Amino acid sequence: MKKAEKLVMGDWRITAMEVWDANYFDMEVPAHITIRKDLTGDFQFGLVQGDIDGRVDATDGVVRLEFSWSGFDENDPMSGRGWMQVDGDQAEGRIFIHLGDESGFKAERTG
């Protein structure tokens, strides 16, 4: 496993989203992203939840996870893509819903 991959692994708590406020993104469970050592993972914010398939890119010292995802929003199938850039225990990124909304987010490592 590469050092850059280790930097994105773990549990991340979504603390802010550009489009949705905490009343929505924390409505069912605390909003989160989990990245495992094989660079798969999962996330949930609001009623949107999905499984992640990621790849890490480290360019000029910036570690970035780029991912596709598939999942559900209130039992409706959904998919999309996104990215998360890591700086220590802080991260920021953007999630895109295919043919739908997109939002920036901020996250903190919790585990």
| Per-residue pLDDT tens over the stretch 48-81 | 999 999 999 988 888 999 999 999 999 999 999 9
Q: pTM of this prediction?
A: 0.93
CB 35 within 8 A of CB 52: yes
State residue 36's pLDDT score: 97
pLDDT surpassing 70 at residue 4:
yes
Mean of all residue pLDDT scores within the chain: 95
